[in-house]
Structure 1
């Protein structure tokens, strides 16, 4: 039975705002699901990690699947916002924006280790259940479409023709981000801090790059 979002250690304290409760529960869910597994962790585990009763989870998300769906929405939105913020310099060339994006996403993979563990679990669940649970697939597709739109807009602003359709660039960007994050978790030395940025710069036509410096080659990329 729902008892409302009453913090366990907060006897006599004013009830926190609903947005604050949701934020705490989402952050706790990300940590708990990443470490214990979505199926292995209970709502009691999530609530305790956030400092609330299980009733707070039910009153805010309705069920465990509702919490998982909200968590997916939250993290995907955060990922998109982070990427857009990294490329908000209108004076930068497209390769420079791509490099800044890659560097920021690499840093985020270190900062958000739990999210990548959770992403792998969500991917496995979606592949195993198929149409029965398409919320993750749907949200991931929306992210890819949003990234493709952003790529096309930035290319237009920079006056640069992409070497591939924007949708293909978006797919490659997400695949690189996810794949390199996994490799970096396994062996950090195998994925230098600037690797993704350099690859993305090359992908959008940045010419050659050094191992640590910026893009080089003053004559511009070869056009096919």
Structure 2
């Protein structure tokens, strides 16, 4: 009888066991970095929090910096995947674009209590280590690009398609979201659920009602 039919726990394959070990180490690293910062966290503490030896940590990651980089890239990939799901719902017509975007931002903000702390620590680390700046920028760029399709749909819905570039709107929305999440962590009552949703609506209403940007003058004023 197989493990599923006889009620016994399923035996993990070697690949599955390795993936589980990496996930637990990354989860422990995220909590530790958020609580103590990059400088204050040690590989010993991360390994212990995950329930593994230091040797297991080094066999899966090159060290503390590699763990940090993986968190940075992995977080961006997760947001890309979730952004794709939102875009699919909008394209299918099952959800209003502005509502879908606001819900996505709210769910992302509340998914992990350490999100704002970890993002702040990643930013500080990149600013203090120029070699890491491009890697963080690339990871964040990938996350923003996943939202561009949703931005295009929202702009079209509010009658502002082509008024402003979707990548620029994605950048503004991402920055606004990060600021609101930090404020929500500091003072939850100041950023209730409705504000996270409404902030996106205000952004797009403002774009839709903004006067057209005048083009360059045909005459050289000089």
On whether the aligned pair clears a TM of 0.5, the verdict is: yes
Structure 2: gaps (5+ residues)? 1-11, 212-222
Give 1:1-224 correspondences, 5 Å limit.
Answer: 17-87=17-87, 88-89=89-90, 90-92=92-94, 96-131=96-131, 133-152=133-152, 154=153, 161=161, 163-205=163-205, 222=209, 224=211
TM-score, with normalisation over the residues of structure 1? 0.75
Task: Specify which structure has the higher proportion of helix.
Answer: 2
After superposing the two structures, state which structure 1 stretch, 42-51 or 80-89, moved more: 80-89
Deviations 1:63-122 (A, max 9, x none): 2111111111111111222333344242157xx322222233223323312121011011
Mapped partners of 1:14, 1:192: distance in 2: 44
How far apart are 1:127 and its partner, in Å?
Answer: 1.6
State the aligned residue count: 196
**Superposed CA offset, 1:144-177 (max 9, x none):** 233335533x358869515421111111111111
123-132 vs 156-165, greater mean Cα deviation? 156-165
Pair 1:76–1:14, CA change in 2 (3 A): closer
Which residue of structure 1 aligns with residue 5 of structure 2? none
Name the counterpart of 2:7: none
- C-alpha contact 2:33 2:41 (8 A) present in aligned 1: yes
Gaps of at least 5 residues in structure 1 are 1-12, 208-220
Rounded Cα–Cα distance in structure 2 between residues aligned with 1:164 and 1:99:
20
Measured against aligned partners, the alpha-carbon deviations of 1:41-79 in whole angstroms (never above 9, x if no partner) come to 111111111111111211111121111111111111112
Q: Could you tell me how far apart the structure 1 residues matched to 2:111 and 2:58 are?
A: 29
Structure 2 CA distance for aligned equivalents of residues 203 and 159 of structure 1 = 11
Range 172-181 or range 16-25, more displaced = 16-25
CA RMSD in angstroms, aligned pairs only: 2.8
Structure 1 residues 163 and 25, CA gap change in structure 2 (3 angstroms): same
Instruction: Using structure 2 for the length normalisation, give the TM-score.
Output: 0.76
* Higher CA-based Rg: 2
